[in-house]
Structure 1
């Protein structure tokens, strides 16, 4: 409102019902709809020492979240411990900003990705489990590479008895550089928990003469097995044709390529069948694995 008066608008114009009031003291030509639009509107009326954090920061940073968290209405806002929490309708206040990195994200103050990962550990296990933390951690370390894992570890170690520490600590041991999608991460965790050797992620595969052959999502070089996650972007005929050609090239070099689908990861019966198929391809004894 103050900025509007300074811009020459009359009080009656600022109180016009044609304007949207996203939060107290702020007027906009239209109602904000996206998280970023809402954050921009709320930032006008918030203290300058505040920053968007937790789920709101994850959304603004485009970190992958469970679908149940995506439509979150409240904006998470953090201030330094010495200052009062933001208490404003539409916001959820937090403190401790002095222990977090703050970025300028196109004019918005937003907690950095490594600290946001730690903050997501404060959510309940039902809202944000270990696998969800690993998925976000994979994205963060890829963005911060090289040194992404060390940055994530340092962010966690800088916290004094953080909520969710057990889940964060477990997740950190499972975070890897290389995954390019949440479902690739979930596929990797499926093999990890079943006791399979750890694959190389989005790794180059070479032919017998040393020439580049292809890049596989999950590659077990020693066993000459490749796991390829098939997401929605693989649905077109052209993409399927490319995938089929790559599978043939791999077969020519004695690699076995096995496709993985979401139903294989989430459905118990299909998961067990798929894991046994991979075990046979790798010449592993299924009875020594945790296939369940």
Structure 2
């Protein structure tokens, strides 16, 4: 059996990006060339060679056939903004795209289309039209539990504190699904939490009656300024949430030294891990913090 000849190399421009049938025609490619094994078709009317798998790569591929007025939204927008999301949503491969009524939502394979009544604020992220982070947060109101909405809302404000008022406005948009849940979440969302773990510690303690802490607040030490995760300044108590342990050794060593310098300056430093937020560990943590700052 004769071996199939190698496909004719594509023009450089088409090797670097996803392209439409019109782009292929403009480059002088014959229809048969688009059926060769090196070309993938991730969406109807879209061709691509090379890497295709990351969220950004999939969005840029779909961008080829995206209509004016459409924008990446919901879970897809949250991830494109670099915000934390429940793992079940992070692993979803379908792209979420919104269009304002009376426009028709896309129905192609690999895309979940949404028709919304009010035009959302849209930003450009590396050439992709994406609903702004406050709008993406509000769009997930029907899908996330209350605490997940608070974690996500804290992350939105950590990335951009100027979105606090827009978040409140987004929760009040007419016909917004889950408006009551969004508005309830806003009562506990704060700016200053740098990670989901910090948000969960804050919620656990404050709901148990611990006074509201300052978040990542400035604490001056001799020769340096540090920013503990949670601070009760009048009691000279600082709480630090330790992540999953996969930190660089250099950062770990710096943190150990920083905690020591805080203690030398008369501060009590409480180190908390995810295990401290569950069951008996959570109750022990609450009692300890209340004894120090309550």
The TM-score bracket by the shorter chain reads 0.7 to 0.9
Gaps of 5+ in 1: 285-292
The counterpart of 1:138, out of the listed 127, 143, 154, is 154
Q: What is the alpha-carbon distance in structure 1 between the residues aligned to residue 39 and residue 247 of structure 2?
A: 44
Partner of 2:217: 203
Partner of 2:237: 225
Partner of 1:99: 119
Distance change (3 Å), C-alpha of 1:81 and 1:232: same
Q: What is the alpha-carbon distance in structure 2 between the residues aligned to residue 139 and residue 238 of structure 1?
A: 25
SS of equivalent residue, structure 1 residue 248: helix
Equivalenced residues, count: 274
**2:198–2:241 contact (8 Å) kept in structure 1:** yes
Q: What is the alpha-carbon distance in structure 1 between the residues aligned to residue 110 and residue 85 of structure 2?
A: 20
Distance change (3 Å), C-alpha of 1:202 and 1:163: same
Distance change (3 Å), C-alpha of 1:111 and 1:97: farther
CA-CA distance at 1:131 after TM superposition: 1.6
Q: What is the alpha-carbon distance in structure 2 between the residues aligned to residue 9 and residue 234 of structure 1?
A: 49
The counterpart of 2:59, out of the listed 29, 39, 42, is 39
Distance change (3 Å), C-alpha of 1:112 and 1:171: same
Gaps of 5+ in 2: 1-20
Q: What is the alpha-carbon distance in structure 1 between the residues aligned to residue 110 and residue 251 of structure 2?
A: 44
Partner of 1:269: 280
SS of equivalent residue, structure 1 residue 243: helix
The counterpart of 2:171, out of the listed 139, 142, 156, is 156
CA-CA distance at 1:102 after TM superposition: 1.0
The counterpart of 1:66, out of the listed 53, 63, 86, is 86
Moved more, 19-28 or 236-245: 236-245
**TM-score, structure 2 as length reference:** 0.86
Partner of 2:179: 165
Q: What is the alpha-carbon distance in structure 2 between the residues aligned to residue 176 and residue 62 of structure 1?
A: 18
Q: Does 1:177 align with 2:214?
A: no
Partner of 2:43: 23
SS of equivalent residue, structure 2 residue 89: coil
**TM-score, structure 1 as length reference:** 0.87
**2:83–2:155 contact (8 Å) kept in structure 1:** yes
**1:19–1:28 contact (8 Å) kept in structure 2:** yes
Distance change (3 Å), C-alpha of 1:263 and 1:14: same
Distance change (3 Å), C-alpha of 1:262 and 1:166: same
Q: How far does the alpha carbon of each residue in 1:39-66 deviate from its partner, in whole angstroms, 9 at most, with x for none? A: 1111212322211100011111111001
Q: What is the alpha-carbon distance in structure 1 between the residues aligned to residue 285 and residue 67 of structure 2?
A: 53
Distance change (3 Å), C-alpha of 1:242 and 1:109: closer
CA-CA distance at 1:247 after TM superposition: 2.7
